[in-house]
Amino acid sequence: MKGPRRDRRFAFLVLGVVPLAGCGGSQDSLAPHSHQARDIANLFWWMMGGAWIGLALVVGLLVWSYKRRKRRGFGDDVEGDKPGEKRSWYAVLGLGIAMPIVVISTLFVISDLFVIKTTQAPASTTTRLTVKVIGHQWWWEVRYPGTNAVTANELHIPVRTPVRVEVTTADVIHSFWVPELNKKVDTIPGQTNVVELDADQPGRYRGQCAEFCGLQHAHMAMYVFADEPSAFRRWLSREEKPAQSPSGGLAADGERLFLNGPCSSCHAIRGTDADGFVGPDLTHVASRTTLAAVTIPNDRDSLRNWIVDSQHVKPGNLMPNFSVSGHKLDALVAYLEGLK
């Protein structure tokens, strides 16, 4: 396993430190980590307060009617106005028309004329970085325009920086959604949609596909890592580099198996002849913390299992099972583990 030792130490630092800094992998829209998500969360808390009051009012009326159910003085004569007729009309007009108009108009103005300005798609001139995300059945392709960097399912952004994410799809409609950072945005064929991510704290933020896209929609999650700008730059420059060819040993055997076998017809490894585009780019697969769109951890056993029996982990996914074992499997895994 070659590669500059210095880079390996930095990689370990980044991968080791980041999960410890800030929140882990929750998808909680009420744990906001951007000003957009915070505005939306605050909006929710106010609306929820109002909702409890509204529900209490209606429940109160029903309970009150239950308490009054046996009162006397209610005539047998069903003709003509009943007691409380006028009061009832006022209540209906006041509570049923006037009050809702006031409350709902206020909500409309605040959320759809003001808050919406912070959550809507940014112009490219206001953001410092653009990331392209392409949805596939059932993984996320991530590209950094202006660089050669291509990765999958885990994207990195610099913290406290407005980042423009342009999303589209290679097949069906998906939806890119990282709740702690911003609203969701659908990936529509023939169209590019945009969302802004602006994390206020370093950390790892979990997202998930939010539009039903077929058999493995449930296993199409992603991580967004917000790094300090210098760490981000180091990460990006490493991702841009092509893969280093292993000099010998098990990993070199693995590379040969990869390039001569079916792997290269679906996966790309920059710096080699493998240029498949059906599956994710594997140039730096070992630098990722998970595999199969945040379905399994990126460790040796999971990787072996994935190659041999991916259909058990993610039934219906587009990678078939491969009956490879023994030395060949060890070699492949050794090669892939070297692709940091």
Q: Is 119 in the site for another protein (CB under 8 A)?
A: yes
The site map against another protein for 204-233 (x = CB under 8 A) is --x-xxxxxxxxxxx---------------
**Gap between the Cα atoms of 323 and 107, Å rounded:** 59
For another protein, which stretch binds (CB under 8 A), given 67-75, 122-130, 246-254, 279-287? 67-75
Q: Is 79 in the site for another protein (CB under 8 A)?
A: yes
Which residue, 13 or 48, is less far from another protein as judged by CB? 48
CB of 191 to another protein, least distance (A): 6
CB of 280 to another protein, least distance (A): 20
Residue 94 buriedness (CB in 10 A; 0-12 / 13-18 / 19+): exposed
Q: Which residues contact 315 (CB under 8 A, 6 or more apart)?
A: 215, 216
Q: Is 97 in the site for another protein (CB under 8 A)?
A: yes
Place of tokens 């009162």: 71
**Gap between the Cα atoms of 245 and 247, Å rounded:** 6
* Residue selected from 49, 145, 189, 271 as contacting another protein according to rule CB under 8 A: 189
For another protein, which stretch binds (CB under 8 A), given 116-124, 126-134, 273-281, 324-332? 116-124
Q: Is 95 in the site for another protein (CB under 8 A)?
A: yes
The secondary structure of residue 245, as a DSSP letter, is: P
Which residue, 217 or 256, is less far from another protein as judged by CB? 217
CA 316 to each of CA 218, 250, 310: distance values in angstroms, whole numbers, following the listed order: 12, 31, 9
Q: Is 299 in the site for another protein (CB under 8 A)?
A: no
Q: Is 26 in the site for another protein (CB under 8 A)?
A: yes
Place of tokens 């029996």: 309
Q: What angle do CA 95, 97, 98 make, to 5 degrees?
A: 75
Q: Where are the beta strands (DSSP E) in the chain?
A: 129-136, 139-143, 150-152, 154-158, 163-169, 174-176, 185-187, 193-197, 203-208, 221-227, 290-291, 296-297
For another protein, which stretch binds (CB under 8 A), given 31-39, 128-136, 236-244, 318-326? 31-39
Which residue, 226 or 339, is less far from another protein as judged by CB? 226
* Residue selected from 28, 228, 240, 330 as contacting another protein according to rule CB under 8 A: 28
